[in-house]
Structure 1
Amino acid sequence: MRYEKKSSWAKHFDFILLDLICAEIVIFLCYAFRNGLEGTIVSKNYGRLALLVGVLFICIVFFNEPYSGILRRGYLKELWAVLSFNAILLAAVFTFLFAMKMSADYSRIMLFTFFIINSVMTWFLHVMWKREIRKRTYHDGKLNRMLLITKREYVHQCVDRLMKNPYGSMRLVGIVLMENGERETEEDSIEGVPIVAKWSDYIEYCKNNVIDDVLFYLENEKLSDEIEELVDMGIVVHVNLVQLKENYLAYRVETINGIMTLTTGINNVTQWQLALKRLMDICGGIVGIILTGVIALIITPVIKVQSPGPIFFTQTRVGRNGRQFKIYKFRSMYMDAEQRKKELMASNKMNGLMFKMDNDPRIYPFGHFIRKTSLDEFPQFLNVLKGEMSLVGTRPPTLDEYKQYEPHHKSRLAMKPGVTGLWQVSGRSDITDFEEVVRLDNEYIRNWSLSLDIKILFRTLLVVVGKKGSV
């Protein structure tokens, strides 16, 4: 019989509940130590603080995804993860109290004490609870015992993947090698997992031993008779659908109008993650458009004097998977900049399909300033509100650049382009190799999360304030 796996939220609900209870107990003890037990129980201030900690805790869990991979983290990584989470929680509490003018009602020493004690207690609980999970997981009565049937050329790759997660629901107890001509093997185990039978007698082995699941890891093999025989024995059978590369393990089974498919891509994201990213874009876009209006009032007279013409520059760019759109910027170049670009290609400092040069003569004097301060990028918030761009993404190429792309270059267009991105905060124009830009963009897409977007936004502020890497 096959049981459905828990969802990711249900999977780590035990840690979430444990941490929330721990945080509430610690904040109670810290407040009581500061203000007395009786004063804490009847205090409205404590009630507000306890509610605030609980609400912010849930929000951070929802946005920051701190429990991803928690079972695979070692002691030091777990400590760092706990400290990071509690630092974010403390910063959020301080920010809320300051914004609501309530900071005078609460002791800063008490809040910092909460941070230290809660970090230690949470880390200790995580370590102990993971030890308990490991103990229960490896108990023979709790794990499904699985037999792997594969060929020699696949066995090491498959065993590596199966053994990666020590907290999985199955235990690999044996291997059967499907050898051509029943060739005997001198090996008695593969990476510590015993070879328990030959292809000709694996059914007999399954009949005489405890086997819950059988995994066929093969390619283009007809297995209908074998599968039927195992299912008739009450064994759950798994058959790999395709041979997937290590870099493309983000796959899922879908049904498209009644057609069952194995779907994979550079990354998988959920609808709620996309909805939250879009909500962030709308909120950031509204703020950005307001700032754009203020900036326009200040810089328009200077632009008109130094380079008569429109203050906005529009250009066709390429967005997600090749979609074209008009990008908006404050104009930082003379009106004939596009015509002069061909003359300057010899001075291109980029190695690849982008154009950048130091001391570009097409930029008028004040244009250097608005580029150095990244003020020219602000009108792109209109593209963000229109849904053509995101706050964080990859740089949208020009049509000329896009037409020269090799197939692997197009992977950087798998997400919406962004006003900022990973490569912009990793060096900006200091990076002169286009392949490095592609690598960083792919790294961003493969590892995308809401928390990564927030980190990049903060790093962007630091880069812009420091004027690092601008041209």
Structure 2
Amino acid sequence: MYQKENSSWVKHADFTICDMLCLQLAFILAYWIKNGVGHPYETELYRNVAVVMIFIQLVCTFFNESFSGVLRRNMLEELKKTFEQCTLVCLLVLVYMFLMRVGSDYSRMILLVSYVFYIGFSYCSRQMLKKFLKNRRYEEGEKRSMLIVTVSSNAKNIVETIRKNNYGTYHLAGIVLMDCDKKGKTIEGIPVVAGSEDIISYIHKNWVDEVFFAVPKEITIPEQIIKDCSTMGVVIHMQLATMKSLGKNQIVEEVAGYTVLSSSIRIVTPRQMFIKRTMDIVGGLVGCLFTGIVALFLVPAIKIKSPGPAFFSQVRVGKNGRPFKIYKFRSMYMDAEERKKELMKQNNVKDGMMFKMDDDPRIIKGVGHFIRKTSLDEFPQFWNILKGDMSLVGTRPPTVDEWEKYELHHRKRLAIRPGLTGMWQVSGRSDITDFEEVVELDTKYISEWCLKLDVEILFKTVMVVFMGSGAK
């Protein structure tokens, strides 16, 4: 029987509980400093806030994945993560106080001192807990005995890797070399106990809980060895021969009944996508409300300046080539698409992969320039976001004719759902005239995507729009 490793949420429950205790300890000490030694939970207000603190801390830990990769982080990275977690928790506590209108009754000194202590306690406790986990030594009978099956050229590296990530879980029973006979010798202090001929007899007569096969693909592991290990009830771990051409992001999963090695430019968790989609829905609802208000003023203005529909729709190419209809407030005259062909010679973007030009004569004078300068023409796309065609942050969707000109590496920028704004829009918007630079920025966004990056881009977008920089 083999106990599967817990998911990261359960796996790091020790850090979560420790962080929760640090928050409460910081709160109690801050209360004592302000009011003297006493019972901080006697007062209803402070008791309620303390309970809300626990709930907020758990929510932040879950959605922010605060302890993902915690054992691999160095001291500086841990300090940064601790500061982010503690600051987020305290800011949300402030939001709670504001919404519940209890901020004026709660001591600001207690909140500030709690915040400072929380950072200090949390950081120190994380470092101590990590040191304990890395240095702990189970009693010999509590460890899982692992036998490594590999080749001589890989043995040293495999032993070092397992030791680095062991944290006292495994007792390395020995090494089996499939390509040579070095029985009796040691590698990194671990004895070579068998070869390909006598591996089964060794497992049969010795303490072995698990066998880790780390053999290059050019060497075939006899099927009988695998069957005999299964017959004996030994747990088998098989290292997959990953393909370098697939890139760094590779995971093992089950697809349509097959166990496969999957690769993508960016692999995300269901939790991350749930949060991103939630942000899109909330942003889409709020955006649609503002769009309705803006439409009351823009629709008559557009119709007066240029007779015809106030809204403009166009087929664009979305995620991985999926076509969809995008919506905008019309900022150009009705014959804009026909006149575009005549103006291609004045295109500012190299190779004609996108169309941008100074003083575009197709734009409706007055109202058209205003709504493009303020990006109000983009507001109807909040409906696209709500429908799921687009996201708040992503890569701008190309037109069909632009899509048809794409080379292979250009398609990478559509590996994610298109967005209302994105990295290249806040990095220059219309000032960028090299399409390869656009592709580079979009690719960087996709490969480095995280929820924090989305928030940063949204904030920068608001600043860029208010300053009116880069828009034409």
TM-score (norm 1): 0.84
- Pick closer, same or farther for the CA change 1:193–1:174 going to 2, 3 Å: farther
Percent identical: 44
RMSD: 3.6
Aligned counterparts of 1:163 and 1:368: Cα–Cα separation in 2: 64
- 1:71–1:167 contact (8 Å) kept in structure 2: no
**Counterpart secondary structure, 1:254:** strand
Shift in CA distance, 64/349, structure 1 to aligned 2, threshold 3 Å: farther
Deviation at 1:224, TM superposition (A): 0.8
Structure 2 residue aligned with 1:340: 339
Match of 2:133?
A: 133
Unaligned 5+ segments in structure 1 are none
Shift of 1:64: 1.7
Contact 1:215–1:237 (CA under 8 A) maintained in structure 2 = yes
The answer for the alignment partner of 2:215 in structure 1 is 217
SS of 2:214's partner is: strand
- Between 337-346 and 118-127, report the one with greater CA deviation: 337-346
Aligned to 1:307: 306
Question: Could you say which residue in structure 1 is the equivalent of 2:55?
Answer: 55
**Alignment coverage as a number of residue pairs:** 463
Alignment partner, residue 22 of structure 1: 22
Q: CA deviation at 1:438?
A: 3.1
Contact 1:134 1:167 survives alignment (8 Å): yes
CA distance in 2, matches of 1:160, 1:247: 24
| Cα 1:139–1:378 shift into 2, 3 Å | farther
Q: What's the offset of the Cα at 1:126?
A: 0.4
Contact 1:149–1:216, Cα closer than 8 Å, also in 2: yes
Q: Which runs of 5+ in 2 are unaligned?
A: none
Residue in 2 aligned with 1:294?
A: 293
Question: Does the Cα contact within 8 Å between 1:213 and 1:238 map onto a contact in 2?
Answer: yes
**Is 2:250–2:261's contact at 8 Å kept on the other side of the alignment?**
no
- Specify the alignment match of 1:254 in structure 2: 254
CA contact (8 A) 1:306 1:364 kept: yes
TM superposition shift of 1:452: 3.6
Q: Is the 8 A contact 2:31 2:40 kept in 1?
A: yes
Name the SS of the counterpart of 1:329 in structure 2.
strand
Report the Cα distance in structure 2 between the residues aligned to 1:351 and 1:158, rounded to whole angstroms: 50
8 Å contact kept, 1:197–1:205: no
1:276/1:230 CA distance change after superposition, 3 Å: same
Report deviation, 1:50: 0.8
Q: 1:195 to 1:70 in 2, by over 3 A?
A: same
Go from structure 1 to structure 2 and tell me whether the alpha carbon gap of 1:162 and 1:437 turns closer, same or farther (over 3 Å shift): farther
- Whether the 8 Å contact between 2:346 and 2:357 is mirrored in structure 1 is yes
Verify the 8 A CA contact 1:319 1:396 in the aligned structure 2. yes
Match of 2:235 in 1: 236
Deviation at 1:255, TM superposition (A): 4.9
1:292 deviates by: 0.8
Partner of 1:438: 439
Matches within 5 A, 1:266-277: 266-277=265-276
2:391 is the counterpart of 1:390: yes
Partner of 2:83: 83
Call closer, same or farther: CA 1:138–1:346 in 2, change over 3 Å.
farther
For residues 348 and 399 of structure 1, the distance between their equivalents in structure 2, rounded to whole angstroms, comes to 17
Q: Which residue of 2 aligns with 1:73?
A: 73
Contact 1:317 1:398 in 2 (8 A): yes
- Letter paired with 2:446: I
1:322-401 matches, cutoff 5 A: 322-351=321-350, 353-366=353-366, 367-401=368-402
Deviation at 1:370, TM superposition (A): 2.1
CA distance in 1, matches of 2:428, 2:145: 49
Q: Answer yes or no: is the 8 Å Cα contact 1:65–1:451 preserved in 2.
A: no
Partner of 1:406: 407
| SS in structure 2 of the partner of residue 40 of structure 1 | coil
Opposite residue 436 of structure 2, the aligned amino acid is E
- Aligned partner of 1:203 in structure 2 is 199
Scaled by the length of structure 2, the TM-score of the pair is 0.84
How far is the alpha carbon of 1:289 from its aligned partner?
0.7
Residues 365-411 of structure 1, C-alpha deviations (whole Å, 9 max, x = no match): 44333223222211100111122112222221211122222334333
Partner of 1:417: 418
What's the secondary structure of 2:236's corresponding residue? strand
Partners of 1:243 and 1:251 in 2: how far apart?
A: 10
Cα pair 1:148 1:172 within 8 Å, conserved: no
Tell me the CA shift for residue 201 of structure 1.
Answer: 6.0
Distance 1:171 1:390, change over 3 A: farther
Q: Within 2, Cα distance between the matches of 1:261 and 1:216?
A: 18
Once structures 1 and 2 are overlaid, which stretch shifts more, 262-271 or 104-113? 262-271
Q: Are the counterparts in 2 of residues 151 and 218 from structure 1 also a CA contact under 8 Å?
A: no
Judge conservation of contact 1:289–1:382 (CA < 8 Å) in 2.
yes
State the distance in 2 between where 1:234 and 1:103 align: 61
Q: 2:147·2:175 contact (CA, 8 Å) conserved in 1?
A: no
Q: Once the 2 structures are TM-superposed, how far is the Cα of residue 338 of structure 1 from its aligned partner? A: 1.7
Find the aligned partners of 1:449 and 1:428 in 2 and give their Cα distance. 21
CA displacement at 1:236 relative to structure 2: 3.5
Write out per-residue CA displacement over residues 17-63 of structure 1, whole angstroms, 9 at most, x where no aligned residue. 11112112211321343234447342111012112212221222232
Please say if residues 177 and 196 of structure 2, whose CA atoms lie closer than 8 Å, have aligned partners that are also in contact: no
Q: Distance in 2 between matches of 1:418 and 1:157?
A: 44
Q: CA deviation at 1:92?
A: 1.6
Given that residues 162 and 172 in structure 1 are in contact (C-alpha distance below 8 angstroms), is that contact kept between their aligned partners in structure 2? Answer: no
Q: Are the counterparts in 2 of residues 24 and 50 from structure 1 also a CA contact under 8 Å? A: yes
Q: 2-side partners of 1:79 and 1:396: how far apart?
A: 39
Equivalent-residue separation in structure 1 for 2:163 and 2:465 (angstroms) = 45
Cα offset for 1:469?
Answer: 3.1
Q: Which amino acid aligns with 2:109?
A: I
2-structure distance, mates of 1:360, 1:139:
76
Of the structure 1 ranges 109-118 and 33-42, higher mean CA displacement relative to structure 2 is found in 33-42
